Chain A
């Protein structure tokens, strides 16, 4: 039997395979510009969206991606399911599996749960957000967004700012960016840096001012309040002083540099209201909506990869 193609993280993907996925995303980007934004390549395949944790963009993005490829997608809402009657999650999964699904997209707040899940189901599983661990499709769409903007990757300077401790986006991004030859720095106070962070190849700064003028990509992370069981930061005021992007810092950025954020933005915390309101005016600089748009093409590539 051929090994099923789970995408739980991107560790086993070679540089060439990552580039292949991005080329494929390019082809899908072209399809998304057509009048008929749909190709029949996954016709007859059934995909289930299993989100045990809230999501807007990732869930909808996967749903659009699946439909653009002509697959049938079913949204599973744990809150309206037999889980509420006390069925265990693993039994729920076996029930779903009995219905002959071809692929499962899953998000769960317990780190590592998705790996356990993937081991117990014979069809490919795509990680759409694994607790504090990994978010591989976000990392791919971030990389693709950077590549489309600069037409290169090697040597670009990326500064990832904010809640590194609780962010699966940060972990997946740092690993993928390093693999692809980008130079990654993180900006966070020590209480928002995970233990054993030295295993990641990224220099730590504590003040955004230290990196603002040299970064090609300023990657603002969302404060993960839902994952913070204690208060990690004394006050919004202090966060603003050391970590936030505001108008005066925007002006210090390199010409041609870009700003990214995985969304949803906590306005007034990671990014000030004023800067958010400038999105339309400086759309060459603020790439948050481009990330969302690219997400569909990248997820089409991922689904195509996993099912072909």
Chain B
């Protein structure tokens, strides 16, 4: 896989986290009723960063859950997935405003699966979606509420998100397949 271009560097990502944190606080008039859920894998560290940033802004404590959507996918017959990650939502989500976080928004199928999974845990007041990159090509009527960067891509391009928690650096690149 040949690297094509760096889309975001570490400073860009940090600024985006700060900006989105403020947007979330503004739109929800604080952070009292918020719960963060990160989609495995890259959504989890992103959710943690935004959550911690908001905790500083509003001087509060916010809960963070992890969600693996393997068993809610609509394409099990096409892909075999043996590395299933943990789901950990050890608190009540009924009536809460959920901030759902993922790294890249593409077809929308992951988010559809994540929303189904969340509904099995309880009935939240609302679900708002945060993504670091929106690369287009939606196959379902799904949109993000908070977008780090809109990145028009073609279908034979691949967006790679690296985060220091898992890859030792913060960087988003766009590559040819």
Q: Which positions 44-90 of chain B face chain A at CB distance < 8 Å? A: 68, 70-73, 76-77, 80-88
With A35-B121, A308-B77 known as contacts, the answer to whether A41 contacts B87 (CB < 8 A) is no
Chain A interfacial residues counted at CB < 8 A? 21
B interface SS class: loop
Tell me if A38 and B120 are in contact (CB < 8 A). Answer: yes
In the bound complex, residues from chain A placing their C-beta under 8 Å from that of B68 are: 27
Q: Does B116 contact A (CB under 8 A)?
A: yes
Q: Is the CB of A31 within 8 A of B121?
A: no
- In angstroms, Cα B117 to Cα A40, docked, is 9
Shortest A291–chain B CB gap in Å is 22
Could you mark each residue 17-44 of chain A with 1 if its beta carbon is under 8 Å from any beta carbon of chain B, else 0? 1001001101100110011101111100
Contact A35 B84 (CB under 8 A): no
Whether, in the assembled complex, B30 has its beta carbon less than 8 Å from a beta carbon of chain A, the answer is no
From A20, A27, A34, A36, give the contact of B70 (CB < 8 A). Answer: A27
User: Inside 8 A of A26's CB, which chain B residues have their CB?
Assistant: 86
Chain B residues whose C-beta falls within 8 Å of the C-beta of A27 in the assembled complex: 68, 70-71, 84-87
Given A24-B84, A26-B86, are A308 and B121 also a contact pair (CB < 8 Å)? no
- In the complex, what's the smallest C-beta–C-beta distance from B140 to chain A, in angstroms? 16
Which residues in B have their C-beta under 8 angstroms from that of A36? 120-121
Count of chain B residues near A, Cβ 8 A: 21
Residue B95 CB within 8 A of the other chain: no
B82 and A20 contact, CB distance less than 8 A: yes
Residues of A within 8 A of B120 (CB): 34-36, 38-39
Residue of A nearest to B81 (CB): A308
Taking the closest CB of chain A, its distance from the CB of B115, in whole angstroms, is: 12
**Pair A40/B72 contact, Cβ less than 8 Å:** yes
Could you say which residues of chain A place their CB within 8 Å of the CB of B122?
Answer: 35
Give complex CA distance A35, B89 in Å: 12
Question: What mask results when residues 104 to 122 of chain B are scored 1 for a CB within 8 Å of chain A, else 0?
Answer: 0000000000001100111
**Residues of chain A in range 259-308 having any CB-CB distance to chain B below 8 Å:** 304-305, 307-308
Contacting pair A20 B83 (CB below 8 A): yes
Which residues on the B side are within 8 Å of A42 (C-beta)? 76
* Nearest CB in chain B to that of A25: its residue: B84
Distance A40 CA – B69 CA, assembled complex (angstroms): 11
Q: Mark B22-52, 1 if CB is under 8 A from A, else 0.
A: 0000000000000000000000000000000
Are the C-beta atoms of A31 and B71 separated by less than 8 Å? yes
Indicate whether A41 sits within 8 Å of B88 (C-beta atoms), given known contacts A24-B82, A27-B68, A34-B121.
no
Chain A residues, Cβ within 8 Å of B121: 34-36
Report the Cα distance A197→B87, complex, angstroms.
Answer: 43
Q: Are A30 and B87 in contact (CB under 8 A)?
A: yes
- Contact across chains for A41 and B80 when beta carbons are under 8 A apart: no
Encode contact with B along A76-108: 1 for CB under 8 Å, 0 otherwise: 000000000000000000000000000000000
| Mask of B84-104 contacts with A, CB within 8 angstroms, 1/0 | 111110000000000000000
CA distance in complex: A308, B77 (Å): 5
**Residues of chain B whose beta carbon lies under 8 Å from any beta carbon of chain A:** 68, 70-73, 76-77, 80-88, 116-117, 120-122
Top 10 A-B residue pairs of the complex, sorted by shortest distance between their CB atoms: A39-B71, A36-B120, A41-B71, A20-B82, A27-B84, A308-B76, A24-B84, A308-B80, A30-B87, A41-B76
